[in-house]
Amino acid sequence: MKIQDLSAVVTGGASGIGAGVVRVLAQAGAKIAVFDRNLELAEATAREVGGIAIACDVANDESVQQAFANAQAEHGAARILVNCAGIDTARKIASRKSGAHAIGPMQRVIDVNLVGTLSCCAHASTAMLDLEALDDDGERGVLINIASVAAFNAPNGQAVYAASKAGVVGATLPMARDLSRYGIRVVTIAPGLFDTPLAGTMDEQMTGQLLRRALFPQRKGRPEEIGSLVQHICENQMLNAATIRIDAGFF
């Protein structure tokens, strides 16, 4: 699909990877709605690209529904959804020192990273069903999710985060099957280490260890490098039901 003038929603678009995606899609001519729980930062990012900012907690269904209704009232139903909202956790499932992994943070990571992603996919695609097809192939829209290489190969302490991201990878094919009859594609991106505030919370030793596990280049990725992959996914109709790793050959 041609991105120019299409309505796009980017969750977690205030910061990091989401903000990189916002900049690239805006450059390609999309009308941007930034959904984020951090409204102040969302407003700053949206202002930069002439978009709108909407307060939204992706883990709260009421908040998600309201955010989509507000975005649709301003820009029309989104043809592009990019799910970037996510949180991290680093805690062993059990250890002698700290006992069992607490259920509260476990639940929250699953709620935000997995349920939040699925819920945004559900509401965005529901609104797409009533849109006119964009071309003779019948394309109506695309859902793009940000998972992580952790879905395939996570270090210790990341069982819950990895499970949340593996859930997104696993849901990609059945969602694409569900929506194929309406001309809606679903693609997931699995990034390695990218230079964002979230990745900045990791200590230097861990960062160094992760970077040494990349083949080339051994540096953090830039959010715009994910943005340009998102742009390509929107424009290339043959990409569907796939998870694409963007991780410099992380092993």
Ligand X SMILES: NC(=O)c1ccc[n+]([C@@H]2O[C@H](COP(=O)([O-])OP(=O)(O)OC[C@H]3O[C@@H](n4cnc5c(N)ncnc54)[C@H](O)[C@@H]3O)[C@@H](O)[C@H]2O)c1
Catalytically active residues, by annotation: 161
Dihedral of CA 120/178/31/114: which sign?
positive
* Residue among 10, 24, 112, 234 that touches ligand X (CB under 6 A): 112
Query: For residue 107, is it left (φ>0), alpha (ψ between -120 and 50) or beta?
Result: alpha
Residues contacting ligand X: total by CB under 6 A: 30
Nearer to ligand X, 31 or 245 (CB): 245
* Residue among 118, 198, 241, 244 that touches ligand X (CB under 6 A): 198
Distance in Å, CB of 61 to ligand X, minimum: 12
* Residue among 7, 196, 240, 243 that touches ligand X (CB under 6 A): 196
Ranges within 18-47 binding ligand X (CB under 6 A)? 18, 36-38
| Site map 59..98 versus ligand X, x via CB under 6 A | x------------------------xxxx-----------
Nearer to ligand X, 110 or 239 (CB): 110
Return the bridge partners of 248, or none.
none
Nearer to ligand X, 46 or 146 (CB): 146
Distance in Å, CB of 250 to ligand X, minimum: 10
Ranges within 132-161 binding ligand X (CB under 6 A)? 146, 148
Contact 78, 7 (CB under 8 A): yes
Contact 33, 14 (CB under 8 A): no
* Residue among 33, 194, 227, 248 that touches ligand X (CB under 6 A): 194
Contact 169, 188 (CB under 8 A): yes
SS3 category, 143: strand
* Residue among 7, 15, 172, 188 that touches ligand X (CB under 6 A): 15
Nearer to ligand X, 18 or 141 (CB): 18
Return the bridge partners of 243, or none.
188
Tokens for 202, please give them: 């990791």
Other beta carbons less than 10 A from residue 85's beta carbon = 25
Query: Residues for the chain: how many in total?
Result: 251
Shortest-Cβ-distance residue relative to ligand X: 86
CA distance 20 to 39: 17
Q: Is residue 56 within the footprint of ligand X (CB under 6 A)?
A: yes
Q: Is residue 191 within the footprint of ligand X (CB under 6 A)?
A: yes
The closest of 224, 188, 204 to 113, measured between CA atoms, is 188
CB neighbour list of residue 168: distance below 8 Å, 6 or more residues apart: 83, 113, 114, 117, 118, 145, 147, 151, 188
Q: Is residue 57 within the footprint of ligand X (CB under 6 A)?
A: yes
Distance in Å, CB of 170 to ligand X, minimum: 16
Positions in the binding site for ligand X (CB under 6 A): 11-12, 14-18, 36-38, 56-59, 84-87, 112-113, 116, 146, 148, 191, 193-194, 196-199
